[in-house]
Amino acid sequence: MQSFLEAFDIFLLEAVLNGILLGGLLALLALGLNLIFGVIDVTWICYAELVMIGMYGMYFLVQYYGLSYWVAAPAAIVLVALLGALLHWLVIEPLLSAAPINQLLATGGVLFVLQSFATVAFGIDFRNLGIRLPVLSFADMHLSYSRLLAFAAALVGMIVVYLFMTRTYTGTAIRAIAQDRQIMALMGVDTKRIYLVTSALGGALAGLAACLLVLQYDVHPFVGLSFGPITFLICVLGGLGNFVGGFVAAFLFAEIISLGGLFSDLEWGYVLAFAFFIVMMFVRPAGLLARRS
């Protein structure tokens, strides 16, 4: 009996730790989507597909061109950042004054374009970097280095974004524009430029997520489906555009998935998480940390 309890506690602790590690990655994904929504007031439904393109970028840079992971990663981040800026310039900017549903449909269209493009260009094979990071074992717990690395990098990425948003003029303008875009010209701010910078930043975060996810998952044209919906739900749960809410919701979701998976199959963790989301939509429809007006 005693030994059973000890083993149980270790598993529980391991699941909690894995939940935290997953939470970091989900928080990073949610931050990018929230940034775009909070500032430009547009939801990039195709956000996870940008991540997918980034993962393919990593795959080709590492496997095909033989670059080291550490050289390929910044290149992939820049690639997806450019893609984000391009998405804004080509699709979002012409639709800025359009009805929200049209913007949603347009980015939904981009989702299918990117998926189909990847299918045609890269085929439907599952590909990976061929890098296997060791597993850290201590006190009977097993934590993969790829998850630890992803968590640490996601944390660093979020801190860098936080410093950028609070310390620089451009970052302050990004926060200001979300609160009152009409008077930005009075401050001397070129709104179009800020939107482009924000889109590139959102893209860069998708690129960083891609570099981290590609260590844990195979890439294929539909890989976006495995974390796109959950990222979107996290943002909604936290309150779309609310950075802190998204951060909290990401860890909450990750723990539900991880702990739910402990008592049964991992899939049950997802079922519980989505059920939790639906209940929360009744209880707090505007998000966990919604401002009370």
Partner 1 sequence: MLELKSLDAGYGSFQALFGVDLDVKAGEAVGVIGPNGAGKTTLMRVISGLIRPTRGTIGMEGVDVVATPAHLIVGLGIAHVPENRRLFPRLTVEDNLKMGAYMPKARAKYAERLEFVFDLFPRMKERRNQMAGTLSGGEQQMCAIGRALMSDPKLLLLDEPSAGLAPVVVQQVFELVRRIRSGGLTVLIVEQNVQQVLKVVDRAYLLEAGTIRASGSAAEMLESDTVKQAYLGV
Note the residues at the interface with partner 1 (CB under 8 A): 169, 172-173, 175-176, 179-180, 182-191
What are the Cα distances from residue 100, in Å, to 70, 106, 174, 241? 39, 10, 21, 15
Distances (CA, A) of 249 to 23, 25, 170, 289: 9, 12, 27, 9
In this structure, is the dihedral angle defined by the CA atoms of residues 246, 24, 156 and 118, taken in order, positive or negative?
Answer: negative
Residues 6+ apart with CB under 8 A from 115: 49, 52, 221, 222, 224
Euclidean distance between CA atoms 95 and 110, whole angstroms: 14
- Name which of 12 and 187 has its Cβ closer to partner 1: 187
H or E, element range at 245: helix 243-263
- Min dist CB 177 to partner 1, Å, is 9
120 vs 292, beta carbon nearer partner 1: 292
- How near is the Cβ of 247 to partner 1 at its closest, in Å? 17
- Shortest distance in whole angstroms from residue 242 CB to partner 1: 11
Q: How far is the CB of 184 from partner 1 (least distance, A)?
A: 7
Residue 39 or 77: which CB sits closer to partner 1?
39
> 133 vs 244, which CB is nearer to partner 1?
244
